[in-house]
Amino acid sequence: MRKRPTFLFIFILFISLIAFLINSPKEIHLPEKILLPGTQTAISLPKKIQLVDTQSLLRFIRVERNLSFRKGLDLEGGTSITLRADMRSVPNDQRKNALESAKTVIERRVNFFGVSEPVVQTAAGNNDYRVIAEIPGVTDVNQAVSLIGTTAKLTFWEEGATGAAELAPPDQIPLNSQVFLGQNPKKTDLSGADLRQSTVTFDPNSGQPVVQLAFTGEGAKKFAAITKRNVGKRLGFSLDNIMVDAPVVQNPILDGNAIISGSFTTEQAKALQLQLNAGALPVSLSVLEQRAIGATLGSTSVQKSLIAGAIGFVVIVIFMIILYGRLGVIASLALIVYTLITLAFFRLIPVTLTLAGIAGFILSIGIAVDANILIFERMREELRKGKSDEQALALGFTRAWSSIRDSNIASLITSGILYYFGTGMVRGFALTLAIGVLVSMFSAILVTRTFLRMVYNTR
């Protein structure tokens, strides 16, 4: 009985220490001098105190991870990019759908880029179709523009018109295609739309990075038919209307796999893989404007929100101690552990924090306290029945668990619905709430219970 709570207590302390190191700043800035009360004597202080740099520790063990809080547009600002869609080749009745498809692909690409909760909107009028993307916290604007604005349109070309091949208009023939395929190359019906997945691998002979393609079932059939009729001939592939390479087909390829090699660097291969997996844009886009945007909320508003959250936390602690005495102190300690672990998850995942996300986190603190209140009230009922402290502890947790479980499952279902159907800040609120609810279950059932068992076993 003693060994298990002791082991769990040490485990909780270890997890709390890791969470504290993840959340702690690497340095604390101090005033240069302070005056002693009632005197004119000034004491000089160091400008800053160096603490543990968790980021450096991760790099020491060869783990690249940015542990800074990722802030949303309302807290940090970011970059706004306005793109114009070229709809000249799209029928009028399909332009609205094409614009929405472009918006979806851009959202997916921005998320692949490692930025959450982008704000992507469309605007149309007077035959002018635009996509406005607002990306929080992006510092490399040129890379972001290249990523979301590049069409990554993959097409395959052959030397002569056979079977599924069709003659392309001169203005649609890829650049440099004559160098590989001669005059009048023909476009096949195989394209990036037939792609199932792309991955970055390395050529075992040259060691150069290449992009391996895996086609869908229908795409594999098309690719097999194309390679069958082009044995001994060149089969070219183009990206964004530029011919990249045209290797000679040695044998028919029937397994639906292909390799793109084009003297890529590792970064270029990864970027191409990302663009292909995210999907090709249905229309060509050109950048009209790119600019930095400031935080939609002022720093004063953010500070007031954080102060309100801190005051709420202190009030909850005082309330629990007044109402439950020693049990309230234990619940408050568990609440501190809960806060450290939750904030550590926000950094590790990472979660993009917006004001709505902070609200979700503060709401989850209330849910965590609610679980403790249910447990303590059940324990009080058992104590009034004359049960011992150990019996009241065991029965209190057992009888409160079903209520805690059901209420948290309901909260998680609500969070899931908000995350699935919501966008932007609504999804941020749902994500922080869901993480908080999951950690609160761990805090109430494991942390609070272990602390109570340690107290009762030492009495």
Residue 236's domain spans which residues? 154-280
Check whether 264 has a pLDDT greater than 90: no
Q: How confident is the model at residue 79 (pLDDT cuts 50, 70, 90)?
A: confident
Judge whether 280 and 153 are in contact, CB under 8 Å.
yes
In a domain, 36, yes or no: no
Q: How far apart are CA 381 and CA 379, in angstroms?
A: 5
* Same domain as 163, residue 144: no
**Residue 302 in this model has a pLDDT that exceeds 80:** no
Last residue of a domain, one of 246, 280, 314: 280
As given in the structure block, the two tokens for residue 264 are 């890529």
Q: Is residue 83 in a domain?
A: yes
For residues 133 and 259, what is the distance between their CA atoms, to the nearest angstrom? Answer: 32
Backbone phi, then psi, for 193, in 5-degree steps? -65, -20
CATH number of the domain to which 105 belongs: 3.30.70.3400
In this structure, the answer to whether residues 317 and 379 fall within a common structural domain is yes
Type of residue numbered 313: F
Find out whether 167 and 186 touch, Cβ atoms under 8 Å.
Answer: yes
Tell me how far apart the alpha carbons of residues 184 and 116 are, in angstroms, rounded to a whole number: 45
Is 319 found in the same domain as 448? yes
pLDDT tops 80 at residue 261: no
Tens digits of per-residue pLDDT, 403-437?
999 999 999 999 999 988 887 778 888 999 999 99
Answer yes or no: do 239 and 159 share one domain.
yes
* HSE toward the beta carbon, residue 397, CA cutoff 13 A: 17
Do 345 and 211 share a structural domain?
A: no
Query: Residue 319 phi/psi, 5° resolution?
Result: -60, -45
Residues 142 and 183 in one domain: no
**pLDDT of 439:** 94
User: Cα–Cα distance between 341 and 368 in angstroms, integer?
Assistant: 13
Please give the residue that has the higher pLDDT: either 52 or 200.
Answer: 200
pTM above 0.85, yes or no: no
Tell me: do 312 and 194 sit in the same domain.
no
CA nearest to 120, candidates 111, 108, 107, 130: 107
272 in a structural domain: yes
Residues 310 and 275 in one domain: no
Q: Which of 145, 90, 446 is nearest to 292 (CA)?
A: 145
| Assigned domain for 28 exists | no
Looking at residue 332, what is its pLDDT? 92
Do 276 and 192 meet the contact criterion of CB atoms below 8 Å apart?
Answer: yes
Please state whether beta strands 70-71 and 352-353 pair in parallel, antiparallel, or not at all (unpaired).
Answer: parallel
| Residue range 151-180: mean pLDDT, rounded | 67
Cα-trace Rg, the chain: 30
Last residue of a domain, which of 136, 151, 166? Answer: 151
C-alpha distances (whole Å) from 263 to each of 207, 208, 266, 269, 376 are 11, 7, 10, 9, 66
Look at the chain and report how many structural domains it folds into. 3
| Average pLDDT rounded to a whole number, residues 261-290 | 73
